[in-house]
Amino acid sequence: MSLHYLKEAMTPDELITNYPIPADLAKLKEQRDAEIANVFTGHSQKFILIIGPCSADNEDAVCDYISRLAKVQEKVEDRIIIIPRIYTNKPRTTGEGYKGIVHQPDPEKAPDLCEGLIAMRKMHIRAIQESHLFAADEMLYPENWPYLSDILSYVAVGARSVEDQQHRLTISGIDIPCGMKNPTSGDFSVMMNSCIAAQAQHTFLYRGWEVKTDGNPLAHAILRGAVNKHGQSIPNYHYEDLKRLLEMYNKLDLQNPATIIDSNHANSNKLYFEQPRIIEEIMHSRKNSNDIRDLVKGIMIESYIEPGSQKISDRIYGKSITDPCLGWSESEKLIYRVADLV
C-alpha cells in the first residue's frame, strides 16, 4: 500500500478549543469584516491592500512585520483597509520545496502537519493580538478551512486551484470575501465560472458530512497575470484588461462585481521591484474611469521586512524563502503613495 497513515490530526473543534480567539478580538473581527464587506458591496469607497510575505515562514518575523503594518494602518485608515497576508500553505508547481508552515513548522526540519496546524493557528492569533488586523490566507486545501474559519477576513483561491470543484463549492459556504484568481492560462472565463459557482448554493460532501451552502455574494475575480505556452509572463493589469473584465461582468448575473489585482506573480514576471510601477498604472486606470474605479477594489502586494528572497539555509530575519518580496522601507512608502492616489 502506497498511502501510509502516520498519525491522526487534531479536529478543527479541538484546535479552536485549545487555541481560541479572545472574545474581545472576535467582536473586533465582526466589525472589521463588515468594513471589508462594505468595500465589495460598494457601500464604502475605501481601498483594500492585501499585503505581506509570499509565505509566512517565521512567526516572530511575520508578527513583527504585521505590527509595522498596524502603525501605518492608523495613518491611512480613512482611505485604506490593510489586510495582512499570512499565507500558511504554499503551492509548489512540481511538488518540491517548502510547502508552508502547515507542512513544516520549521522550514529546515521534516514535515509535521499535526504540529503545523498548531503553529498556523498560534501565528494567526498572535498577529491579531499584536496588531488588531485580520489576515488573508490562500485556500490551497479546502478541508483546512475550518481550522481558520473564525479568524480569517479574506481568502484567495490560487491559479492552479480555481478550476477545482471542491474549492469552488467550499467558497460558496464562506461568508467573507473570497478572490478567485485567473488560471495560469489567463482565461478569464474560467475565473468568472468560478465566481458563478462560488456565489451559488450547493449540496456536496465535505469532511465526512453532506453539507448545503448559501452561496457567497462576495466571491470575486483576482487578476494575477498569465503564462503562455513558451513559459513567458503575460500581464493582465492594463486598462484594456480591466475593460474586458468589466464587460464580462456586465454580461453575467453576478452580485457585487469586483476585482483585486495581484501586482506580483505573472503581472510582474516575478520581478518584485516592479510592483510600485504596476500599482501606479492601476491607480491611474481607476482615476481615468469611474467604472474601473468601482470595479477595482484593491491590490495584492508581496512584501516583507527585507527585500528579495533567500535560500532556506540562509535564515536572514524577515526575508522571503519563497518568491522575492519588496522590503519594508519600499513597502511603507508604497502604502502612503496608494493612499494619496485613492
Q: What is the pTM of this model?
A: 0.96
Residues 100/106, Cβ–Cβ less than 8 Å: no
Phi, psi of 20 (to 5 degrees): -80, 155
What was the pLDDT predicted at 288? 95
Domain extents in the chain: 12-341
Phi, psi of 178 (to 5 degrees): -130, 125
Q: What's the mean per-residue pLDDT of the chain?
A: 95
| CA nearest neighbour of 338 among 298, 308, 303 | 298
> In this predicted structure, which of 101-110, 130-139, 288-297 has the lowest mean pLDDT?
101-110
Residues 269/188, Cβ–Cβ less than 8 Å: no
Residues 199/172, Cβ–Cβ less than 8 Å: yes
pLDDT, tens digit (0-9, with 9 covering 90-100), for 280-330: 999 999 999 999 999 999 999 999 999 999 999 898 999 999 999 999 999
Among the CATH numbers 3.90.550.10, 3.20.20.70, 2.30.29.30, 3.40.50.300, which is that of 12-341? 3.20.20.70
The CB density around residue 26, as the number of other CB atoms within 10 Å, is 13
Inform me whether the pLDDT recorded for 64 exceeds 80.
Answer: yes
Inform me whether the pLDDT recorded for 137 exceeds 70.
Answer: yes
Average pLDDT of span 257-277 = 96
Q: How confident is the model at residue 91 (pLDDT cuts 50, 70, 90)?
A: confident
pLDDT, tens digit (0-9, with 9 covering 90-100), for 151-196: 999 999 999 999 999 999 999 999 999 999 999 999 999 999 999 9
List Cα–Cα distances, 270 to 256, 274, 302, 330, 333, in angstroms. 30, 8, 10, 16, 20
Average pLDDT of span 143-148 = 95
